[in-house]
Amino acid sequence: MSQVPRAIISVYDKTGVVELGRSLVNLGYEVVSTGGTYRCLKEAGLPVTYISEVTGFPEILDGRVKTLHPAIHAGILAKRREAGHMSELEARQIKPVDLVAVNLYPFTAVAARPEATLDEVLENIDIGGPTLIRAAAKNFPDVIVVVNPERYGEILAALQAGGLDPAQRRSLAAEAFAHTAAYDAAITGYLQTAGLQSDGFPTSLTLHFQLQQEMRYGENPHQKAAFYRSLWEEGRKDTLVHAVQLNGKELSYNNIGDASAALEMVREFAQPAVAAVKHANPCGLAVGATLKEAFIKARDADPVSIFGGVVACNRAVDEETAKLMAEIFLEIVLAPSFTPAALEILCRKPSLRLLQLPVGAPQPWLDMKRVPGGLLVQEADVHAQERSAWQVVTKKVPTAAEWEDLAFGWQVVKHVKSNAIVVVRDGQTVGVGAGQMSRIKAAEIALAQAGEKAVGAALASDAFFPFDDVVNAAAAAGVMAIIQPGGSKRDADSLAAADKAGIAMVFTGMRHFRH
């Protein structure tokens, strides 16, 4: 049989493919190709063999079947060092394959398009390509497999220098299996996602994440860290992986966590809103008639803790708001846009990270938490509860202003770590008690922070009161309205305490634990 080495090239991403083909021909390779790749190489004037000339069988089913043939796969899978394999190839006049360059249909890109139909998505599930890649990667001691166009130059240089060493071949095979594994995971994720949000959870969960960036360190300098983006959620363009950084240092692990938390907070509000976040909790969250007003209220909610904080806005940052932001030290300002004047002001601070991305309304997503040996998965807490589902359970009915504060407090408290108590007034947090082991301790922290601002304010609790102590503490501070889920065995004690103090209390029937 001919000793001319054979290469199979079949790529969707044609970056560098003509140069690859030309260089292989110059090295004495016979190049075999399919469909669009064949036409691309042929139009470039390269000698190329069409796949059907090797298989003796035409492409059928609109190109769905073209490389799935023994004349191709036997040539890839045969071990050169086993005489039996080589004699079988010779008996059947099958040439061995020495190099396979393949990349796959753009399933992820198509599936991410909101307008893509199921038929379009299914047509972009590559079958022959992964089969070629896996066969070549399995036989990597004898077959060079390449899925990444960025490695063409490295491979050609090695071939020109006499050949690839075992470590290079193994590295290419590992990259090839990672490529097909990620591809299969993207398909699985696409098919499973709808079921995860409606029909329950599958017995096996396959996820697909791709490295976005390596980080200098994690929560602490001694921890390594990286940021991965979810490829089955590529259709969403309003997440941090799609943020455009307009200024500032590289984002850190903690920056991304806090920015994501702040972003989800301001999504809650239709009116101009600003969230100032420290350690994933709001130190100040407010709404206003303008973004400037909302920022002033968020800043003044806790002027100490906002220092070094992350700020998210659901409106464009204007010049006046930017001037106020520039007066204090912030790590990040996130907004849907910045006016030119605002950018000019904020970019005077070289370390201030400015992130621009769409803010939109809350959307369903899968919330995941790693634990050693497993993964906890739940629907994110984005349920928008209608006020008509709430129940006034005290003698006193909230006033119109108190209703507004109760609704605002309820939107805020779901974003505070449990046990959570939030004191609000006039669309502004005035006291936040977060992450305490007892509810009364969370209340004491929030009320102490509120001080005199607690008089006439509203209090929100993420879960029910096991005792009447929180109501009594709220009454002593001057709180006039409380919102909580209800459902405690001792609700009657809390209701009696509220009635005695003249406090209006509303039950929502929904808990918002956030651990």
Catalytic positions are 138, 279
- 13 is written with which tokens? 């991403």
Q: Which residues contact 18 (CB under 8 A, 6 or more apart)?
A: 40, 41, 44, 46
Which residue, 309, 303, 318, is CA-closest to 352? 309
- Return the H-helix or E-strand segment holding 138: helix 128-138
CB 171 within 8 A of CB 177: no
Which residue, 413, 459, 418, is CA-closest to 437? 418
Could you give the CA distance from residue 239 to residue 233 in angstroms, rounded to a whole number?
A: 9
- % helix, strand, coil for the chain, step of 5: 40, 20, 40
Based on DSSP, count helices (H) and strands (E) in the chain, helices before strands. Answer: 18, 21
Tell me the backbone φ, ψ of residue 370, rounded to 5 degrees: -80, 135
Could you give the CA distance from residue 149 to residue 140 in angstroms, rounded to a whole number?
A: 18
Give 338's DSSP letter. Answer: B
Strands annotated E in 231-290: 244-247, 273-278, 281-287
- Return the H-helix or E-strand segment holding 265: helix 253-266
C-alpha radius of gyration, the chain, whole number: 31
Could you give the CA distance from residue 42 to residue 33 in angstroms, rounded to a whole number?
A: 10
Could you give the CA distance from residue 494 to residue 394 in angstroms, rounded to a whole number?
A: 10
- Return the H-helix or E-strand segment holding 354: strand 353-356
Query: 448 burial class (0-12, 13-18, 19+ CB within 10 angstroms)?
Result: middle
First to last CA, the chain: 68
Could you give the CA distance from residue 205 to residue 341 in angstroms, rounded to a whole number?
A: 48
List 356's β-bridge partners, or say none.
Answer: 244, 335
Which residue, 408, 410, 361, is CA-closest to 509? 410
| Phi-psi map region of 256: left, alpha, beta (phi>0 left; psi -120 to 50 alpha) | alpha
**Cβ-based neighbour number of residue 47 at 10 Å:** 10
Per-residue DSSP letters for 59-118? -BTTTTBSS-SHHHHHHHH--TT-HHHHHHHHHTT-----EEEEE---HHHHHT-TT--H
Query: 197 burial class (0-12, 13-18, 19+ CB within 10 angstroms)?
Result: middle
